[in-house]
A and B are shown apart, each in its own frame.
Chain A
């Protein structure tokens, strides 16, 4: 039954007759659309379950055999690596052919035979087609598995793991999967030296016996062979393959997407580029009605050179050699992810721009032209792929493996062309989850973290094996004679000197406030009187005062739109203890310690740790100017710890005292910037202001 079923497919390409004269100023119009035909492989099934597909192609005197065992993914847990080991052990001889003879013969034939834990691939000249098939089947059914080979492969695997320990690319890949799918999921589990060491020879053999069997196997043959002949050969060599052990298992659920978008940072001091991947898990398969629309949406977002991401990050900004995105369609778990490698300096900007482009495709209707172009690219890719005989086989196999309707590929272009502007926006919103994404960044923390923190996106830190860790400390060598006391003294000197500062009894600071994401721009009047009186009133034009916060030295409250909430005991105690003006003047030096020198904004800063009872906070002073540039504190609220970062810049002189005109406060995802328009010292403040 040598049946060649060809189905003609209508190509949706513009086709206009060729013009007679050339006009350089316009791209030439395409000629008539070529007719394409999609063949179907011939197919049969052996009693043991092996499904065989044959694509005859006599253009070149060669043949390939590809065996796929469609097992559900398996979590190997603390024995991760067993699949690599058994895959490497196989294809090295059979129970009747020694390893040396086997390898020698494969090479002698000029052939390749390779195994993995879930399949095999062989190729070579068609004049040796039968012998190659025979060797492959023998190595699959009767593999020579020896302890010696196992030990050798184990040593190689462990050294191989070591060799990728400093590869930013390799670490980014494995940590991304582990975080997204969870380390218990087969797609997220990590192979480490430890897990490889746990694997025994018996484990490897038992893996083969349990999972390398024909019931869910597909063998695809492509090339210069005759169907009738090859069918007989397959029956001869593969009929004796039997299932050895029956093992049932279920695939664990992939980890859920994160509650809020966050940066997951992995520090690699050797990185000269940051690897950035925004990713979330998706539930999408080829058979889903959304499939074609998602392909198009991804094509527009990051599926090619002229996609949103690449045009922004490469062509507009020159941040990268290339930016792309992709969406998986695996039955068990898949991800949407973007991927870009950028120089350290622009890491934060690349993150912001990546998010911006994803939001763009979710919120703005795509231009008709861009949609048309994306479709044309799919049509073209479909046509171009037909050159390779592998395509026909791949399509047929995909239909089986993904349980697709039999007309999936003949209606493919039709469905691609049916995707609308609305579809693109709808599926972008559904699958590109900028609200629940991990932004996995592998890079050199000492050069990129300060700026990443400014994006306001919460950052969590992980090691190279996806374990959570503390924020890395990047310290330069502290000069031997430097102490916390000196840092504080320098600061006091830098802002005006002890004598002048002591004269300051009150300060009024009038500032414009911007709240990231908020439409209104309030103004704030902040009054402070020594030692600890504080008042802040925020008002919006046309709405009057919208918020008040007061502390008069003994008690205080917060009032929002008429609702007054008195301070709690704890808050009162805290406010009492806090010096509102220049706390450095009266700091207890025994609570301070000089931690390190950290890079910041193109300069370096001394990092001082302040311990007050069980509360720890950090203050950063510019090494060169001596000025306070940053404070970091963590507070616990409703069981969550929230970190607050205050940054001070644009110091200006007021009556001989340096005051920061810009204060930026970052609390979780919220960023508030206060830009002072006026400072008054020892003026316009009375005790009544704090009531």
Chain B
């Protein structure tokens, strides 16, 4: 077991920060390979217990998409010691809340309790990992629920299919080309044995990080963690080798239709590197520069001054292996989609040819500092960040020093990155149009 690793607060060294907001934590590995992070904060009698598993939609068999997300439903069905349907009753009858979510990269489960129930949370999460019940009843029920979730969030939701269409066009080889929720026919075709095999492969302690954060006594909690998670056997090592995408060198165009909208949208999507890459941080700044706030370049020009768009924005969709940087606009009145593209491109060209102003640079620093301060404002949020930085970024310390990366980014670097990634021949232009099919 690794020895405790304390991060000492570096107070007063940085000019702006008179109030320390250093997140202290301690981390270690169990013998079965499970990584554990503890964060103690006794200001409120609340505790979060969470487990992040390094399994997401990208790990699925291409013929069985939707498995990772399906598990997020299935693993609430019950365990050897928690009867079917009892999970939520146990949580709420002990004053807690719980939830889970899935991305292409990982699956995350958590409970929040009044702090006298920390052991209960650890028991539940260890039950989920150790011996969940995966049977046909659970699979059949959750199959319907997942289909409803898709109808709600994708099929019945205005602009609900835009990301799906962008991913489909941006990725040819890498599993990011699919959606997290997956194909319903794959779920229908899946056998119980296939679900069980997926569990055996990915739900192993050596593929997970446990975080206990909040009003805790660390030595007590350490003992509980060992008691509940220690006996779970280590699984086989997981080898990941995803196909690499070829660089985009020619402009791409695509069209998608949505019956839930009346106003079309244009989207320009660029391939960007993993969120671990320094360039991804630069792109986050560019995104804020272009569309964060009323004085941002795109908003001010296209929405405010020229009144060409109802909305413009930049979405920095960052993932573990690649990112997708999406600029979008919803035209106002008779504005043509291509005119919005022209206006957006003009601003990008400026970024590529000139340094942003000193004042804009200072503004970005303020914006990111504000974001950083707010990012660690709840224990539940801190727990999630600790797990994410450990598992996906490979560096828990980012929770305290990610801001330093932003501080170190220069104006020249912003220009350089804009030139490296944001060129017309490196992008997809997606026209997202209302579908006017009269079905009556």
A and B held together in a complex: yes
What string of 1s and 0s marks CB contacts (under 8 Å) between A301-313 and chain B? 0001110000100
Q: B163 in the interface, Cβ–Cβ < 8 Å?
A: no
Report the minimum CB–CB distance from B206 to chain A (whole Å): 21
Q: A616 in the interface, Cβ–Cβ < 8 Å?
A: no
Q: Which stretch, A55-63, A419-427, A481-489, A543-551, touches the partner chain B? A: A55-63
Q: B342 in the interface, Cβ–Cβ < 8 Å?
A: no
Residue in A156, A379, A472 whose CB lies within 8 Å of B440: A472
Q: Is the CB of A155 within 8 A of B332?
A: yes
Q: B145 in the interface, Cβ–Cβ < 8 Å?
A: yes
- Please indicate the chain A residues that have their CB under 8 angstroms from the CB of B85 in the complex: 306, 311, 315
What string of 1s and 0s marks CB contacts (under 8 Å) between A89-110 and chain B? 0001000000010011011111
Q: Which stretch, A11-19, A213-221, A290-298, touches the partner chain B? A: A11-19
Report the minimum CB–CB distance from B188 to chain A (whole Å): 13
In the complex the two chains form, what is the Cα distance from A315 to B307 in whole Å?
A: 48
Q: Given A31-B116, A61-B17, A386-B46 in contact, is the A125-B149 Cβ separation under 8 Å?
A: no
Q: Which stretch, A162-170, A404-412, A516-524, touches the partner chain B? A: A162-170
Q: Which stretch, B266-274, B291-299, B386-394, touches the partner chain A? A: B291-299
Report the minimum CB–CB distance from A684 to chain B (whole Å): 49
In the complex the two chains form, what is the Cα distance from A167 to B371 in whole Å?
A: 32
Residues of B198-212 contacting chain A, CB below 8 A: none
- Please indicate the chain B residues that have their CB under 8 angstroms from the CB of A341 in the complex: 148, 151-152, 156
In the complex the two chains form, what is the Cα distance from A661 to B203 in whole Å?
A: 57
In the complex the two chains form, what is the Cα distance from A445 to B21 in whole Å?
A: 55
Q: B254 in the interface, Cβ–Cβ < 8 Å?
A: no
Q: A563 in the interface, Cβ–Cβ < 8 Å?
A: no
Q: Is the CB of B92 within 8 A of A33?
A: no
Query: Chain B residue with minimal CB distance to A167?
Result: B158
Q: A470 in the interface, Cβ–Cβ < 8 Å?
A: no
- Please indicate the chain B residues that have their CB under 8 angstroms from the CB of A33 in the complex: 114, 116
Q: A314 in the interface, Cβ–Cβ < 8 Å?
A: yes
Q: A177 in the interface, Cβ–Cβ < 8 Å?
A: no
Q: Which stretch, B344-352, B359-367, B395-403, touches the partner chain A? A: B359-367
Q: B423 in the interface, Cβ–Cβ < 8 Å?
A: no
Q: Is the CB of A25 within 8 A of B378?
A: no
In the complex the two chains form, what is the Cα distance from A30 to B47 in whole Å?
A: 13
Q: Is the CB of B144 within 8 A of A168?
A: no
Query: Chain A residue with minimal CB distance to B228?
Result: A22
What string of 1s and 0s marks CB contacts (under 8 Å) between A106-130 and chain B? 1111110000000000001111000
Q: Is the CB of B370 within 8 A of A386?
A: no
Residue in A35, A271, A318, A472 whose CB lies within 8 Å of B156: A271
Q: B89 in the interface, Cβ–Cβ < 8 Å?
A: yes
Number of interface residues of A (CB under 8 A): 90
Residue in A13, A224, A474 whose CB lies within 8 Å of B19: A224
Q: Which stretch, B27-35, B51-59, B257-265, B414-422, touches the partner chain A? A: B257-265
Q: Is the CB of B46 within 8 A of A100?
A: no
Q: Is the CB of A163 within 8 A of B263?
A: yes
Q: Given A59-B43, A373-B89 in contact, is the A273-B155 Cβ separation under 8 Å?
A: yes
Query: Chain A residue with minimal CB distance to B153?
Result: A321
Q: A352 in the interface, Cβ–Cβ < 8 Å?
A: no
Q: B108 in the interface, Cβ–Cβ < 8 Å?
A: no
Q: A383 in the interface, Cβ–Cβ < 8 Å?
A: yes
- Please indicate the chain A residues that have their CB under 8 angstroms from the CB of B43 in the complex: 59, 387
Q: Is the CB of B333 within 8 A of A383?
A: no
Q: B171 in the interface, Cβ–Cβ < 8 Å?
A: no
Q: A436 in the interface, Cβ–Cβ < 8 Å?
A: no
Q: Is the CB of A315 within 8 A of B260?
A: no
Report the minimum CB–CB distance from B212 to chain A (whole Å): 14
Residues of A367-397 contacting chain B, CB below 8 A: 369, 372-374, 376-377, 379-381, 383-384, 386-388
Residues of A439-455 contacting chain B, CB below 8 A: 444-446
Q: Given A107-B363, A167-B158, A376-B95 in contact, is the A314-B145 Cβ separation under 8 Å?
A: yes
Residue in A104, A111, A152 whose CB lies within 8 Å of B307: A152
Q: Is the CB of A107 within 8 A of B293?
A: yes
- Please indicate the chain B residues that have their CB under 8 angstroms from the CB of A343 in the complex: 147-148, 151
Residues of A441-479 contacting chain B, CB below 8 A: 444-446, 472-475
- Please indicate the chain B residues that have their CB under 8 angstroms from the CB of A224 in the complex: 19
- Please indicate the chain A residues that have their CB under 8 angstroms from the CB of B165 in the complex: none
Q: Is the CB of A319 within 8 A of B16?
A: no
- Please indicate the chain B residues that have their CB under 8 angstroms from the CB of A387 in the complex: 43-44, 46, 378-379
Q: A562 in the interface, Cβ–Cβ < 8 Å?
A: no
- Please indicate the chain A residues that have their CB under 8 angstroms from the CB of B439 in the complex: 269-270, 444, 446
In the complex the two chains form, what is the Cα distance from A592 to B65 in whole Å?
A: 54
- Please indicate the chain B residues that have their CB under 8 angstroms from the CB of A31 in the complex: 115-119
Report the minimum CB–CB distance from B67 to chain A (whole Å): 18
Q: B438 in the interface, Cβ–Cβ < 8 Å?
A: yes
Residues of A1-57 contacting chain B, CB below 8 A: 11, 13, 15, 18, 22, 24-28, 30-36
Residues of B99-153 contacting chain A, CB below 8 A: 112-120, 122-124, 127, 140-145, 147-149, 151-153
In the complex the two chains form, what is the Cα distance from A381 to B113 in whole Å?
A: 9
- Please indicate the chain B residues that have their CB under 8 angstroms from the CB of A472 in the complex: 440
Q: B215 in the interface, Cβ–Cβ < 8 Å?
A: yes
Closest 9 CB pairs of A and B: A380-B95, A318-B144, A34-B45, A110-B366, A110-B370, A373-B93, A107-B293, A31-B116, A387-B44
Ordered by A's residue number, 22 sampled pairs between the chains whose C-beta atoms are within 8 Å are A22-B228, A30-B94, A31-B118, A34-B114, A34-B115, A34-B116, A60-B376, A60-B377, A61-B19, A62-B370, A62-B373, A62-B377, A108-B363, A125-B366, A127-B18, A162-B262, A166-B260, A273-B152, A318-B140, A321-B145, A384-B96, A384-B112
Task: List 13 extra interface pairs beyond A62-B370, A107-B294, A341-B152, CB under 8 A.
Answer: A30-B114, A61-B19, A62-B373, A103-B293, A107-B292, A111-B370, A159-B263, A168-B260, A373-B92, A376-B94, A387-B379, A446-B440, A472-B440
